[in-house]
Structures are given as structure tokens and as C-alpha cells.
Structure 1
Amino acid sequence: MALVVIGTAGCSAGSDEPAPQSSSVSATTHAPTAAPPVPQSSDGIDIERIEYLGPADADPAENWANLYLPAGDHEDGSVPLVTIVHGGGWESRAGAEQFDEMARDLAGRGLAVYNVEYRRVGTGGGWPTTFHDVARALDHVPTMAETHPQLSIDDELVIGHSAGAQLAVWVGTRHRLEDDEVGSRPAFVPSRVVSISGPLDMRYAVNHGNGRVIKQILGGTPEQVPGRYASVDPIQNLDPQLPVILFHGLADDDVNPDNSRHYTAAVRAAGGTAELHLVDGETHTSLVHRQSPAYQQIIERLTAVARAELEKLRDE
């Protein structure tokens, strides 16, 4: 797959965008005591709350997801499931609610969307809790499909933005981990992943603008905790059978676009499929907002990827 560059007009981050992932912003230490309300359903879209951990393991304020469903009756296994993992530097300053718009836009195109919240630094997360939470959220998918038989989970897409992109790509390859590693022996593995503005080369990112947040979530530098980086750094955990589609704004000052370039090159060198979209004029967060000139193109590509046959994606 050749490099794709989508030309757009400049779009700066606005006040309604997710908090930018910046190594100069400190994580809040004020954890919420309850989960936010379930978003209101709208015409054609039903929304319900999912609790993916049992009471003994869960923090009710953090271990939940919102499931967006196309309204009406559907045949069993007919509605493709998409999972969204939000970013925010693995910190509590940003949450799943920032992706309500994208979830609604995808559900409006006939997809089910599982928008996951998890514990982050400042809300009980960090190493290894954050990674356990996201792994368990994905492992809950088969159980969720039992109670929602319209879901099609055989070829699930996981989308991640920023730190969530690292988590999304990681959950797509954790079946290759050793049994004693965090997140190993998954009950469910997605078949395709989309990374938006992701730090997918964590050893590079720790020295190029993201050092504070990466050292914070992993508990040290690559030299201090090499095993942790080896377990969760996407570029160190390649699966040539997993198609990965990447979007990265060329005006991203928070996560260097070279992260996506490095990861794409590594996947292709390993014989896998990586489709890279470098987007002119877009910042770290602008790509995931309706105001972006590229947003509708991204939504259309996400929809197509969610519905595509796996072998076709691998051959592109």
C-alpha cells in the first residue's frame, strides 16, 4: 500500500477538542466517585451502559463502556462491532465521553460501537492496571455478544486515538505475548486496528516529546524497565496478520508523526499490511473532530475497514 496524503486546510485545536497529549500537562489526582451518565439515545441510535468487570475487580467510576447500537431489529450477527479506546496520555484528564460524536457517527452508518473507559494515572491506573483494564474490556466482547446477538464479532475493528492507539494496537497483538506478560491469553482478539495520532514506537517517543507520560505509565525509561516496553510497545510486538490503518496529522506537535512512519515501515518489513495516511495541516486532536476537513474521509474509511473482508484488507 502506497503512502496516502490527504490534503486539507489548516485546522487548529479548539476548546471543544479532547485535551492535547502534552508532556507539560500534569495528570489530575482527583478521581471521580461515579461514572458519568449514559449519553442520551437519539433517532436511530440506542445507547446503553456496559460494565465489563465484576464487582470484586471493578471501580464503578472507571470500568465501564457505552455501547452504541443502530436502533431496530437486526438479524443475528449482522451488525459489525467497533471498539474505541480513547487517549489523553494514559492520564485522567480525558475520558471516553470525548468520543461520543465519533461513536454516534459510526453507529449512524450501521455499526455497533463499544466506547471503553478504563483506569488511568490519577484514577487508579498506571502499570499494570491500565493495561489489565483495556485487555479485560476486550475480553468481555464475547459475553456482550451473547446478550446482544445482533453483533458480529468475528472481524472486529479497534480504533485508538493517541495513547489509546498504543493500547488498541497492543490488544490486537497480545495473543503473541508470553503467558506471564500483562494481557496475555486473551479471550478475544480483534482482526484489524486503526491508529489515530498514536505513539506506536514508544522507545522513540520517550525521547521525542512524550517522555513524561510514557515514563509515568510504564514506571521508567526503556533502560530501567525494558521488559515493560517489550510487552506493550507496538513496534516491538508486530503481527504481520493484523492489518493496521494509521492516520497522523503532519502538524501534530504532541506525538511526532515519525512514530507512525516508523511503525508502518516495521510492519511492511515484517511482511504485514500497514496503510498510512499523513494528513496536511492537522494537529494531534483535530483529526477526531467534525470540524476537521479530513474527519468525514476518516469516518468513511473507518466504516469501510469495519465492513471489509479480512483477506481483502491484508491484500491492499
Structure 2
Amino acid sequence: MSSPDGSGSFPVVVVIHGGFWHQRYGLELGRPLAADLVAHGVTAYNIEYRRVAGGGGWPATGDDVLAAIDVLDADVVTLGHSAGGHLAVWAAARHPRVVGAVAQAGVLDFRRHPQITRRAAELLGGLPDEVPERYADASPAALLPIDKPLVLVHGEDDEDVPVEQSVSFAEASGAELVTLPGVGHLDLITPGTAAWAVCRDAAVRLAR
């Protein structure tokens, strides 16, 4: 946890890293984002969760995110990239203290796009026809309506998560959509880029 003056009296953003829920990706992805958020006047928590091949899976992975938010004595905005974008929006649907969410190239519809369904199956332990109840619980698209402000930021040149994940979710949910021409998957989590600034500013705006 970091805050601008150490008091914890600032707006709170919870950073949730991506990596398709896999064990090989961890907190290191979120640290520079949290540091930059602090530099722009908010308290930032960079949280971890159990991942595939590391004791995670569903519902453990989602439970860890909710448990991390439980211990914070504040309303929060969630900010997540890729699989973390899934968890950021999912937490907005599930936790009363999440007042808004920013999804950076979020994985938002587990049944749309074969490559996304394949990755989701690793998290959920099966395909949609094998564990339909887990897809109904875990996929943000299955949880609509979500009556909280959501901002979806996605690069039009994303090579890992199709931009249509955010476009279709925005159409179904009414969420704010920002598509960025010429921007790829990792640009959104690279401080110093215009793409990251869009994400950071959205989180700060929702938190305040």
C-alpha cells in the first residue's frame, strides 16, 4: 500500500494485475502503476490473488480479490489489466465497497472469442457446457446490469485480448468506452505512455 502522505486519507484505487490468471505473472506488473497513482494524489493498493497452478482457480481467485477489498476501510475504485480487468469489473458487481472500475483491455465476456474461452476454461476448470454455473458467476457479461460507473480502455491493436471484448460489453452495459488507435496490450500498463495516462486519469476521476 502507498499513499501520498502516508495518512491513508486519500481516494483509494485497488490495482489488480493481469497475466491470464497464471502463476508466472504477479505483483511486479502492478507496482509501477500503483506508484504513479500515488504520484497523482490517490492511495493505491497493489493486491495479489491465487492463480492457476498456484492454488487458484474458481472461486478461489475471485474470493481473494473480495477478501483484499474487505480489509480496506474505504470505498474503492478497482483498476485492472487484462485478466485483472476481468477481476476489477467482477468485483464491482460483487462487492458493495467498490464504487467504480476501470478495465484496461479487460477480459469481460468468457463466451465471446475462442481464445478467451480457452483461457477462461483454465481458470474455471472447464468449458461453458461443462461448468456453466462457473461461467454464470465469473464472466462479467453474465452479471449485467452492473449499476456502477465502469470505464473500459482498450487498444485497437491489442494482440492478446480482442478490442471487441470491450466494444461489445460497452454496448450491452452502457459503460464508458475509450478505444485507442495504434495501442497494443502492454501499452496500457506502461507509465509514461499516453495510453497509461488515460487509464490512470479515469481511475483518479472515479475515485474522487
Q: Hey, what does 1:250 align to over in structure 2?
A: 156
Classify the secondary structure of the residue corresponding to 2:2: strand
CA distance in 2, matches of 1:203, 1:163: 14
Correspondence for 2:169 among 245, 263, 274:
263
Aligned partner of residue 129 in structure 2, secondary structure: coil
Q: Number of paired residues?
A: 208
Structure 2 Cα separation of the partners of residues 285 and 220 of structure 1: 28
- How big is the shift at 1:132? 1.6
Instruction: Tell me how far apart the structure 2 counterparts of residues 165 and 137 of structure 1 sit (CA, whole Å).
Output: 16
Specify the code of the residue in structure 2 equivalent to 1:299.
Answer: R
Q: After superposition, give the CA deviation of every residue in 1:138-163 in whole Å (9 maximum; x if it has no partner).
A: 11223xxxxxxxxxx24x21111100
What pairs with 1:3-22 in structure 2 (closer than 5 Å)?
A: none
How is 1:97-246 mapped onto 2 (pairs within 5 angstroms)?
Answer: 97-142=28-73, 153-154=74-75, 156-174=76-94, 186=95, 188-205=96-113, 207=114, 209-246=115-152
- In the TM superposition, what is the alpha-carbon distance from 1:201 to its structure 2 partner? 1.0
Partner Cα separation in structure 1 for residue 163 and residue 68 of structure 2: 28
In the alignment, is the contact (CA less than 8 A) between 2:93 and 2:146 conserved in 1? no
Alignment counterpart, residue 16 of structure 2, candidates 60, 85, 89: 85
Q: Secondary structure at the match of 2:15?
A: strand
1:291 CA drift (Å): 4.7
Preserved CA contact (<8 Å) 2:21 2:123: yes
Distance in 2 between residues matched to 1:214 and 1:240, nearest whole Å: 21
2:190, 2:100 → 1: CA distance?
22
State the Cα deviation string for residues 254-312 of structure 1 (Å, max 9, x = none): 111111011101112xxxxx1100011111111110253322233233222221xxxxx
- Asked if the contact 2:151–2:202 (Cα under 8 Å) also holds between the matched residues in 1, the reply is no
Cα displacement string for residues 108-134 of structure 1 (whole angstroms, at most 9, x for unaligned residues): 122100110111012111122212211
Q: What amino acid is the match of 1:266?
A: A
Residue of 68, 71, 86 corresponding to 2:5: 71
Tell me if 1:296 matches 2:197.
yes
Per-residue Cα deviation, 1:228-278 (whole angstroms, up to 9, x for no partner): 00011101102342110010011112111111011101112xxxxx11000
2-structure distance, mates of 1:219, 1:260: 24
Q: Which runs of 5+ in 1 are unaligned?
A: 1-66, 143-152, 175-185, 269-273, 308-316
User: Displacement of 1:71 after TM fit?
Assistant: 2.1
Q: CA RMSD in A?
A: 1.7
Instruction: In structure 2, list runs of 5 or more residues that go unmatched.
Output: none
- Measured in 2, the distance between the counterparts of 1:127 and 1:211 equals 14
Which consecutive aligned stretches of 4+ in structure 1 deviate over 4 angstroms post-superposition?
none
SS in 2 for 1:210: helix
Look up the SS of the partner of 1:191 in the other structure: strand
Q: What CA distance in whole angstroms lies between the structure 1 residues aligned with 2:22 and 2:85?
A: 14
SS for the counterpart of 1:198 is coil
Q: Which structure would you say has the larger Rg?
A: 1
Q: Secondary structure at the match of 2:194?
A: coil
**CA distance in structure 2 between the partners assigned to 1:240 and 1:226 by the alignment:** 20
Residue identity over aligned pairs, in percent, reads 38
